[in-house]
Structure formats: C-alpha cells, structure tokens
Amino acid sequence: MEQLLLLIFLPLIGAIITAFTGKSAKIISTVFAVASLGLALVIAFTFIPDASTQFEANLPWIADLGIRFHAGIDGISLLVVLLTNLLVPIIILSSYNHEYKNPAAFYALILFMQSGLLLVFTAMDAFLFYIGWEAALIPIYFICAVWGGKDRIRINMKFFVYTIAGSLFMLMGIIYLYLQNTAHNFDLQTLYSLNLNPTQQGWIFWAFFIAFAIKMPIFPFHTWQPDTYTSAPTPGTMLLSGIMLKMGIYGLIRWLLPIVPQGVQEWGNLVIILSIIGIVYASLIAFTQKDAKRLVAYSSIAHVGLISAGIFALNQQGMQGAMVQMLSHGINVVGLFYVLDIIFSRVKTNKIEELGGIAKTAPQLAIVFLIIVLGTVALPGTNGFIGEFLLLLGVYNYSIWAAAVAGLTIIFGAVYMLRMYQNVMLGQTNSLTITFTDIKGTEKLVLYTICVLIIVLGVYPKPLLHLTEASVQHLLEQVNQKLKQ
Amino acid sequence: MNIIITISITAFLVLYAGLFKANKALLPLTVVGLLTALGFTFYAWDGNAVHYGMMQTDNFALAFSAVCIVGTSLIFLLTQNYFHAKSDNIAEYYTLILFSLAGMIMMVSYKNMAMLFVGLEIMSVSLYILAGIRKKDFASNEASLKYFLMGAFSTGFLLFGITLIYGATGSFDLDKIQAYLVSNPQTISPIFYPGVILMMIGLSFKVGAAPFHFWTPDVYEGSPSLITTFMSTVVKTAGFAAFLRLFAGAFAPLHDFWVVPLIVIVCLTLFIGNVTALFQKNFKRMLAYSSISHAGYLLFSLIVLSKNSESSVLVYASAYTFASIIAFAVLILVKQKTGSDHFESFNGLGKKNPLVALCLTVAMLSLAGIPLTAGFIGKYLMFLNVMGEYQTLLVAFAILNALVGFYYYFKVIVAMWFKDGAEVELATPAQYKVVLIISVAITIILGVYPAIILNLI
C-alpha cells in the first residue's frame, strides 16, 4: 500500500518542488521522474503475475458520498503504470534540446500530469478514476496552450471542450452506476457485480464509450487530434500520444467491458466497424500529408483503431495484443516524435519535401530512426510486430473480413512510413540538410534506450505477456460469465 | 440572537468611530466584531435554539451565517484604499454593509415569515443605498434606481404571497404552515397555491433567477465593484438559504405542485445565464451573467428534496462565494491599474503577476467545475441530487450548459496566460494577498476534502 501511495504521489511532490525552482527545474524534475521509474520497476519485480489486485490502498476519503481512495495494481494496471513511468523520464530528457520559457512551470505540469495518469491507471473507485481523468487533462491543456505553436489557443480550446464534454457524460454515467447499486459506493467490484438490464447497459455504454473514444481517438471523434498534436510542443505531443491516449484504451478494458458486457456485445460490432473505418481513413490521409508530424499523428489514429478493434473482438489474443501494443505504440510514437523534433530543432521544418539526405550527414540518427520506423510498421523482430500480430489474430477470430480490412493497416503503414523515411533521410542532401549534425548527448541516450526497448521487446516479449496474461484472462472470464447470465 | 446583536452593535460602534474621524480604527473594529459574531455561531452549534418563536438558530442557519460572515469579512479586507480613495464617509459604507449582514442573518434563520420579510428589507434597503453610493456617478445612480424599483416590485410579490398563505393557514409560522399542509392534504385552501407561486417569484427576483433576472447585469455592472462582490456572493448565498428554508421546509409537502414552475425557472436561468455570458466582452458583466447561471445550478437542490439538499447548497454556495470573491478582487486590482474591466485588460497578466493570475485561474476552474476545486464538488452534488430521481434529461441539459461555461471562464485564463499584453504590474496590497490566499485555500480544501462541511447540517 505504501509503495502505491508513494508511486502516485511522488510525481505530485516532485511537481510542487519543481514549481518553486528556477533554472534547475529540468534537473530536479528528471530526478523525480527517474525515481518514479525506479519505484515502478521495484513494483514490477515484486509483482506476482496472477490475476489478483496487489499493493492495494483502500482509505476513506469522502465517507458521506461513499467515495474511497481505493487504488491497486493488477497486471493490466502494471503495464500502463510501467509505460507512464518509463516515458515521462524519456520525455523530460528529450526536452533538453529546448529552452522552454518558465521551465519551473513546464516541468511541474508534466509531473503533475504524471500523478493524474497514475491515478487513472490504478484507481479502483470510479470517482477517483474520474478525478485522475480530469487531473491529467488540466496540465496537458496548459502545456499545449502556453508552449504550443501557432493558433494554439483555438486548437487547444477545441481539444479541451471535446474531451471535457466526453468526460462530463462519463460522470453522468458514473453517478447513474452509483445510484444503481444499493451499497451506494463507487467501488470497482461493486460496479462489476451490478445487474443492469440491456437498455441501461446500452446507455451506460455510450456515456463511457464517448469519453474514451474522444481520448483515444476513435473515428469519428478524432477531429481534434491532428491539430492538437501538431501545434503542441513536442513533450506535449509525446504525453498526448504516448500516454494520454492509453487512458482511453485502459478505460475501455477496465471500466467498460466488465461493467456493461451486454452493452459491449450489442454495440461492439458498430465500434469495430468504426475502428476499421478509422484505420483505413487515417491511413489514406496519412498518405497525403506533407508535414511529417501530421503524418505520425494520423498514423497514430490508425494504430489506435486496430487496438480498439482488438479489444472489442472480446478474445484473449485481441486483448493481450492490445496490452502489448499499448506499450509498444507508446514507445514507438514517442521515438518518432522525438526524431522529428530533433530534425525540427536543426532545420526548423518538418515538411517532408524540404528534407532529404539526412542519412549522409547524420548516420547514427538514420539508424535509430530506421529502427523506430520498422518498429512502427511492425516488422517481425520489433516490438510492434508482437502487438499487431496478436491484435490481428484477435480480430481474425472475430471475423475474417474485419481482419482482412484491418490488416491493411500494416501494409498502408509500411508504405507511408517508409516513404516518409525515404524522403526525409535518404536521397540527396539539400541546402537545408547539408549542415545537419548527428545526435549527441541526451539525444543518444534517449534514442538508444528506445531502440533497445524496441528490439528487446520484439525478440523476447514473454515476460511482458506473462505479466498481463492472468489478469486479462480473469477479466475476460468475468465478462463471459456475466454474458451467460 | 447573539450574532445579530453583535453585528448590530459593531455597526453602531463603527458609525460613532466615523463620527470622531477615527478612520484607522474602522477596519480593525469591524473585523473584531465579525470574528466575535463568528465565534457565537460556533458557540451556538447544535443548540437549535428558538428565539421568541421568530427565529431558529439550527445548524442550517448557523452554517449559512458562518459563510456569510466569513465572506463579508473577506470583502471588508478588500476595502483598503477602495472606499478611502472615493469618499470621506467611509464609516457609512461599513455600517451599511454590517446592517445588510444583520438582515441576512435573519434571512437564514427565520422561523416566521414576518421575520423573512424584515430581514429581507433590512438587507435590501442597505443595498439600495450601497449600489448608489457614488453620488456623482451616472452608472451607480442608475444601478441604485433599477435595483430599488425592481427590489420594491419583487417585495410586493413576496408580501402578496405571504398574505395569501396567511389567509389560508392563519399563521406566519413555518412549522404551523407545514403542519397545515400535512394535516389537510386534500383540503388545502385554493388561495394557498397562488401564494406559493407569488413567493417563488419574489424570491426568484431576489436571487436573480430567470425570467426575473433583468436587473442583475445592469445593477452589478453599475455598482461599485466591491458592492457588486458583496451582492453577488454573500447576498446571493443568504437569498438561497431563505429560499431553501421556505421551500425545502414549510412548503415541502407541496413539492409536486411547485416543482413544475421551478424546473421551468431552472432551465431558463441556466440557458439565459450561460448563453448570454458567452457573448460578454466585459469581465464584470460576464461575472454577472455567470452568477445568474449559478443561481440555476443552486436551484437544482430544490428539484429533488433529499436529506442532502441543504448541505449541497451549503457546499455550492461556499464554493461560488469564495471563487467569486477572488474574481472580483482581481478585477478591482486590474481596473485600478488599467482603468478597464474588459477581457483585453487581462492579457498577459500571468507574466508579471503570477500569484494573482494563479489565484484567478483557480477561481475560474472552480466556477467552471473542474475536479479538485470546490466548484466541482458543488456541481457534482447538484447533479447527484437530481439524478437521484433519474431526471436524466435535466442533468444532460445542465451538462451542456456547464460546457458553455467552460468556454467563457477559460476566456480569462486564456487572456492571462496565453496572450501577450501590456505586462502591467499590479499594485497588490498585502490584504488583497491575504484574501486571495485564504479564498484559494478554502476552494482547494473543499475540493479535495469536502467531508469537512458535508455532514455539518
């Protein structure tokens, strides 16, 4: 219990301390982020890989309203907790290239957001989950709107109103569930054991699903995403794409499937169709993008589409694939955005046409970028392959046709990612890229770490799969059992 | 009873102090008086004493008295340099505010409808003068006249209502009225119903609920900002307490009858308040319209009467009061420096005045209802209350309105942090800082751990 509380509140304490430091904010926030990573690793190694909830903290909070500070970690949580605490130090290190104005506030907001995210990923109480959900949103809004690029105010207002609209309806759903159970609390287990009729399940499904779908985003709730990703400062984009969208996926698995399985069964087909439309649609748009950052943003929509299709296939392979892919996608997309940021910081553009031949002047960057791109396009032997393979297997077990269309994501992805790589890195150097310097210092550290993770998880994913297997299986059993009733 | 006596004596002492030109002693004297009164609210806690059959200091009354007294104290702390710069008769301002507060204490603790009327008038008459206290200022005069005419008009409705109810029940006493309703459910006199409606209209005028809200924006905009702060926070809280005491208490057995017009009022209030606030270019006017919309959320507590209704209103009203005090305090500072209360004058405020801007940000987040602030808990309780009877459509409507609210509250945040402006440095007196920090602390504490006031009443 103490470990868990420390895990959640360490970044918050870090945020408060960082807020009162001046120029040294960078270093102090790095120290806290690395300490959190260490803590997460300790938790991962002492975690017993079964279906139980461990490190549980269950403290009274607002007793009159049946709200408790109830958090815990099972296999599913552990994976996203690891992802969060792995990526935050990487993201902070990757910002060393830039001198952000008012660094104390910048890094404090990142750490504050980390606390919110960890709360979301460990909450076992629906109210606590909601608090974390919003607590993660406010800092990222400020990060994007203060340090973002052009037109940031309008873009981020759209992003904010979109997401808050979703979460307010989720709040309504949560209140409804609270009123439905006779114990009048928000506890996950109580909500799991609710017996709602199909109509109720349908409504609750939509109340939750829209919030999650906006966050991920699933077509047609994605319209905020490309603009926000493009205009945000790179650490903001990384937080959004690497970790924040996993809130939506995690929410689907933890809160939507087990609470309203019949709703999921009724509407799951529609969601899979939407996801597949999203895959094809986002891939096609990615083809036409001239800006590499935008291209990656659209590719992210395609990847997330496949993950949600895998989840709604409601089988072990799809779910396990989703778990692995959450981690892989987080690592890969952060790597991609970092490479683009390095390019941008040197030549001040991410326009694919204006670049070329960087491989000649920066061979090391070319190699790591290639590894990350290959991970993203799911080449066997990289981390992306394991996730996408399991996801496609899951979708295949659901329907061959769905898998056939969803499989396009791999082909499309390979085409547009490799074409982007070709145009940016290969070919002749031009006046812009001739003076390009290779990666050094923290850039090397971050990118090599990412590459090692991509390859290691690709070659030997077993420990990872083992970590989540029991919990995923247990969750699916629970869902199936409820469906049979 | 002690509370009213203390406040009234303080008011007279302040008046005498003013007579002897002891201007420096006014603020300490007032604050000591108010703290004493606050002490009496704690002393009387759980006493549930009835005073001469006219007033009942139950925990409900005491909790709201405490909120009013704390709010007024904070507003008094903001008076530094505010009145002094504008007039010689400072003691009169203090006295009028104190008398108005005494009226409010009666409004939150009445047991007899005559007392409601007396309290309301003591409060209102003081406010009519305060609104027009800038004798040479056209807007202030207009505000005062509008407020007086509308106030007198609404008092008329209230009195008609009281009269009809007296005619039906033969009593002004809340308990006897309730007993009448409970014992004759089938044979309630037909004049009782219009009485209820008239009282609802009268009180809606006072709290500024649509469609009886037309006076609010002009009066709020025209009055001196400090008086507007007082009117839109403490006065409003007292008004709601009075509303609640009557409708959740004496008229509760007739809930099925008056809930229909109430829902109409709530929907109109939410819609008009939010949509009009959206189009305001002036921060003060925006706050005026937003105060209308908050009246709508507060009335949610009456749609479903439960044991939680009262504490929901207490939480919501405190959240709203302290957030608004922050907003107005910053507005006063900005206006002193830039001479304008438009959104543009907030541009770039965060760069030179991080503390002030941070406090205003917390206030706006609270008014918008973001978690970890008191405003969220308030809104949550209201939604919870209404969801209790599965009025899902109504909650969905309120949520859509809340979304509109996010948009205009964030306008200020956007202006302060994201836009570039003149980078003025505000002259923030120490007392303002104290008020800002206390209010922010209350906002966050109530947001993180609302249990401390949830089970008070």
Residue A167 lies in a domain: yes
A142–B455 C-beta distance less than 8 A:
no
B112: left (phi over 0), alpha (psi -120 to 50) or beta: beta
Selecting from B371, B403, B455 the residue whose C-beta is nearest the C-beta of A161 gives B403
With beta carbons under 8 A apart, name residues in chain B contacting A145.
414, 417-418
pLDDT, tens only, A267-286: 988 999 999 999 999 998 98
With beta carbons under 8 A apart, name residues in chain A contacting B418.
145-146, 152-153
For residues A156 and A31, state if they share a domain: yes
For residues A197 and A289, state if they share a domain: no
Task: Give the domain-ending residue among A227, A259, A291.
Answer: A259
Whether the predicted pLDDT of A231 surpasses 70: yes
Share of chain A above pLDDT 70, in %: 100
With beta carbons under 8 A apart, name residues in chain B contacting A125.
none
Residue owning tokens 């109530």: B446
* Angle, CA A108 vertex, CA A103 and CA A110 arms, to 5°: 100
Residues 6+ apart with CB under 8 A from A64: B451, B454, B455
Q: Is B278 on the interface with A (CB under 8 A)?
A: no
For residues A354 and A472, state if they share a domain: yes
Q: How far apart are CA B36 and CA B31, in angstroms?
A: 8
A130–B451 C-beta distance less than 8 A:
no
pLDDT at B138: 85
Whether the predicted pLDDT of A115 surpasses 90: yes
- For residue A19, the enclosing domain spans 1-259
Q: Is B407 on the interface with A (CB under 8 A)?
A: yes
Residue boundaries of the structural domains of chain B: 2-454
Share of chain A above pLDDT 90, in %: 32
* Best to test chain A binding among B312, B347, B384, B391 (most A CBs inside 10 Å): B384
pLDDT at B222: 87
Residue owning tokens 């409606």: B197
* Best to test chain A binding among B300, B404, B406 (most A CBs inside 10 Å): B406
Q: What mean pLDDT is predicted for residues A153-176?
A: 89
Residue A264 lies in a domain: no
A161–B384 C-beta distance less than 8 A:
no
What is the number of other CB atoms lying within 10 angstroms of the CB of residue A8? 24
In B, minimum Cα distance to A164 occurs at B403
Residue A241 lies in a domain: yes
In B, minimum Cα distance to A101 occurs at B351
pTM, two decimals, is 0.92
- Is residue A285 within 8 A of residue A298, CB to CB? The reply is yes
Domain total in chain A: 2
For residues A432 and A294, state if they share a domain: yes
Residues 6+ apart with CB under 8 A from A70: A56, A57, A58, A59, A123, A124, A125, A128, A187, A188
CA within 13 Å, CB half, B227 = 28
pLDDT at B160: 93
For residues A46 and A118, state if they share a domain: yes
Selecting from B403, B419, B451 the residue whose C-beta is nearest the C-beta of A164 gives B403
In B, minimum Cα distance to A102 occurs at B351
Selecting from B388, B392, B451 the residue whose C-beta is nearest the C-beta of A62 gives B451
Q: Is A411 on the interface with B (CB under 8 A)?
A: no
| Residue closest to B403 by CA, chosen among A164, A254, A38, A12 | A164
pLDDT, tens only, A299-352: 999 899 999 999 998 888 899 999 999 999 999 999 999 999 888 888 888 888
Collapse the DSSP code of B53 into the 3-class scheme (helix H, G, I; strand E, B; otherwise coil) and give the result: coil
What Rg, from alpha-carbon coordinates, does chain A have? Answer: 21
In A, minimum Cα distance to B398 occurs at A168
A73: left (phi over 0), alpha (psi -120 to 50) or beta: beta
For residues A167 and A290, state if they share a domain: no
Q: What is the pLDDT along chain B (457 residues), one digit of tens a residue?
A: 789 999 999 999 998 888 887 777 888 899 999 999 999 998 888 888 888 889 998 889 999 999 999 999 999 988 876 766 556 678 888 899 999 999 999 999 999 999 999 999 999 999 999 888 888 888 888 889 999 998 888 899 999 999 999 999 888 999 999 999 888 888 888 889 999 999 999 999 888 888 888 888 888 888 888 899 999 899 999 999 999 999 988 888 888 889 899 999 999 999 998 999 888 888 888 998 889 999 999 988 888 888 778 888 899 999 999 999 999 999 988 888 888 888 888 888 888 888 899 999 999 999 998 888 999 999 998 888 888 776 788 888 888 898 888 888 988 888 888 888 777 777 888 888 999 999 999 999 999 988 888 877 7
* Angle, CA A266 vertex, CA A263 and CA A270 arms, to 5°: 110
Instruction: Tell me phi and psi for residue A193, to 5 degrees.
Output: -90, 5
Q: How far apart are CA B214 and CA A255, in angstroms?
A: 46
Q: Is A169 on the interface with B (CB under 8 A)?
A: yes
Question: Nearest CA of chain B to the CA of A149: how many Å?
Answer: 11
Q: How far apart are CA B349 and CA B357, in angstroms?
A: 6
For residues A216 and A308, state if they share a domain: no
| Helix, strand, coil % in chain A, rounded to nearest 5 | 80, 5, 20
A151: left (phi over 0), alpha (psi -120 to 50) or beta: left
Task: Give the domain-ending residue among A238, A259, A280.
Answer: A259
For residues A250 and A379, state if they share a domain: no
| Residue closest to A110 by CA, chosen among A78, A146, A163 | A146
For residues A147 and A278, state if they share a domain: no
As a whole number of Å, the end-to-end CA separation of chain B is 19
Task: Give the least confident one: A140-144, A209-213, B187-191.
Answer: B187-191
Task: Give the domain-ending residue among A259, A280, A298.
Answer: A259
For residues A434 and A414, state if they share a domain: yes
B402–A160 C-beta distance less than 8 A:
no
With beta carbons under 8 A apart, name residues in chain A contacting B387.
172, 175-176, 179
Q: What mean pLDDT is predicted for residues A416-442?
A: 83
With beta carbons under 8 A apart, name residues in chain B contacting A164.
403, 406
Residues 6+ apart with CB under 8 A from A78: A43, A44, A47, A467, A468
- Is residue A389 within 8 A of residue A317, CB to CB? The reply is no
Question: Nearest CA of chain A to the CA of B381: how many Å?
Answer: 9
pLDDT at B85: 58
Q: Is A157 on the interface with B (CB under 8 A)?
A: yes
- Is residue A92 within 8 A of residue A107, CB to CB? The reply is yes
A142–B417 C-beta distance less than 8 A:
yes
Q: How far apart are CA B163 and CA A392, in angstroms?
A: 76
- DSSP lists the bridge partners of residue A187 as A125
Instruction: Dump strand ranges (E) for A134-259.
Output: none
B450–A172 C-beta distance less than 8 A:
no
For residues A216 and A304, state if they share a domain: no
Q: Is A138 on the interface with B (CB under 8 A)?
A: yes
Question: Nearest CA of chain A to the CA of B371: how many Å?
Answer: 6
For residues A222 and A298, state if they share a domain: no
pLDDT at B444: 93
